[in-house]
Amino acid sequence: MIEFERVSKTYPDGTVAVDELDLTAPSGQITVLVGPSGCGKTTTMRMVNRLIDPTAGRITLDGTDTASIDAVTLRRRIGYVIQNAGLFPHRTVVDNVAALPRLLGGGKKQTRAAAMELLERVGLDSAFAKRYPWQLSGGQQQRVGVARALATDPPFLLMDEPFSAVDPIVRAQLQDEFLRLQSDISKTIILVTHDIDEALKLGDRVAVLRQGGRLAQVATPAGLLEAPADEFVADFVGSTRGYRSLGFRFGDDELVPQTEPTVTVGKPIGGSEGRWALAVDSDHRPIGWVDITAIGTRSVESSDINLAGTVARADSPLRELLNSALSNPAGRCVIVGDDGVLVGSVTDTDVLAAIRRARASEGAA
Ligand SMILES: Nc1ncnc2c1ncn2[C@@H]1O[C@H](COP(=O)(O)OP(=O)(O)OP(=O)(O)O)[C@@H](O)[C@H]1O
């Protein structure tokens, strides 16, 4: 757990960057700091690893005052990921990741092997290990940045705008991978962003800061959308906050897929009701929809398949679940497993009902 207790920072020129901040970042969770430019996010984060010293107040890591820990020792316990990755330009990818463990006295073979394993975990093929940072895309560099921050297996991680230097599609991929990684490693993370959508997607808790480094509200993403503390927060989360909750995901048991009747190419349609039937390949992966009324008793052909529909996974954001329901001619959301194999389907009404249930339980919490 990282705790800020009445922490303030006034720069020598008199700028109050952070003003009496009280905030807790719980263990094993992602706490996001979000707010407009200049509201003190980076200053707040850098006080944790003492790149900046607070003017007043104290910051504790699992109860220990950071001021009482030697700065080098402190930074070993806190991984740090920054925008544009900040990699050593003259070292290969694997050497970037292995650098700190080597410095701490790890053997060459052992630290390299550990670095290779980490690179795999962050989704980088081993073929990239011998490249230099400039030979990687922005998204690949960010992955190396994350691997490097994790190299000493620190319990705490600070991430300053880690995904903002890449295009929106790569950013979404990196965010998804990061959430998957975090569900495995459960680090105590503080992440800074100015992007409210990123904050709502990644944060277990989101702290909204306003100008002058004052905390406007800290809440779960759903709590923030449903009950903004004041006009500033309401404006910051935006008037489309109803739609923003479509970025949330359901837990495993909140949506129960029903069996979806299927058809395959080369076979006649048997026993499907309604107008549309889902076509699947021989591995039972959805490929499109067939208009039953156009087929009659003959066999289904590839050219009969309407490819308009999309699929989602049970843990996809609600946006993708609804998108699947709305894009499929049958109006049902098709759910597949990680391997792309059909699990079943839910209706758009099921998705909306589950959203309402989730909101009701959030409100009751
Ligand atoms: N070394 C410094 N000396 C004086 N003022 C500073 C210094 N560093 C930052 N500031 C000021 O402190 C305030 C907070 O800056 P900080 O970088 O923490 O904000 P931020 O929320 O991270 O901003 P951004 O989203 O634009 O990166 C700003 O007004 C900034 O101009």
**pLDDT at position 33, please?**
97
Q: What percent of the chain has pLDDT over 70?
A: 96
Question: What residue's CA is closest to ligand 1, atom 7?
Answer: 11
Residue 311's DSSP bridge partners are 334
53 lines ligand 1 (CB under 6 A): no
Question: Is the distance from CB of 316 to CB of 325 less than 8 angstroms?
Answer: no
**pLDDT at position 361, please?**
65
Question: What residue's CA is closest to ligand 1, atom 4?
Answer: 11
Q: 10 Å Cβ neighbour count for 296?
A: 8
- Reference 1, options 20, 24, 33, 22; nearest CA is 24
**pLDDT at position 252, please?**
63
Q: Does residue 343 surpass a pLDDT of 70? A: yes
Q: Does residue 360 surpass a pLDDT of 80? A: no
> Mean pLDDT over residues 321-335, rounded?
89
> Mean pLDDT over residues 89-98, rounded?
90
- Matching fold, domains 2-247 and 262-356: no
Residue 194 CA: nearest ligand 1 atom is 25
Q: What is the ipTM of this complex?
A: 0.96
Cα(18)–Cα(211) distance, integer angstroms:
9
The residue length of the chain stands at 365
283 lines ligand 1 (CB under 6 A): no
Residue 191: pLDDT band (50, 70, 90) is very high
- Reference 169, options 126, 138, 193, 128; nearest CA is 138
Cα(107)–Cα(259) distance, integer angstroms:
54
Residue 263's DSSP bridge partners are 279
- 291: DSSP letter: E
What is the CATH number assigned to the segment(s) 2-247? Answer: 3.40.50.300
193 lines ligand 1 (CB under 6 A): no
Ligand 1 center–CA 35 separation, angstroms: 12
Span 102-153, pLDDT tens digits = 887 888 888 888 889 889 888 888 889 999 988 988 888 888 988 888 888 8
Question: What residue's CA is closest to ligand 1, atom 11?
Answer: 17
194 lines ligand 1 (CB under 6 A): yes
Pick the CATH number of 262-356 from 3.40.50.800, 3.30.70.920, 3.10.580.10, 3.40.50.10610: 3.10.580.10
Q: In the chain, where are the structural domains located?
A: 2-247, 262-356
Q: Which residue matches tokens 């880690």?
A: 162
Exposed, middle or buried by CB within 10 Å (0-12, 13-18, 19+), for 201?
buried
Cα(47)–Cα(45) distance, integer angstroms:
5
Ligand 1 center–CA 63 separation, angstroms: 27
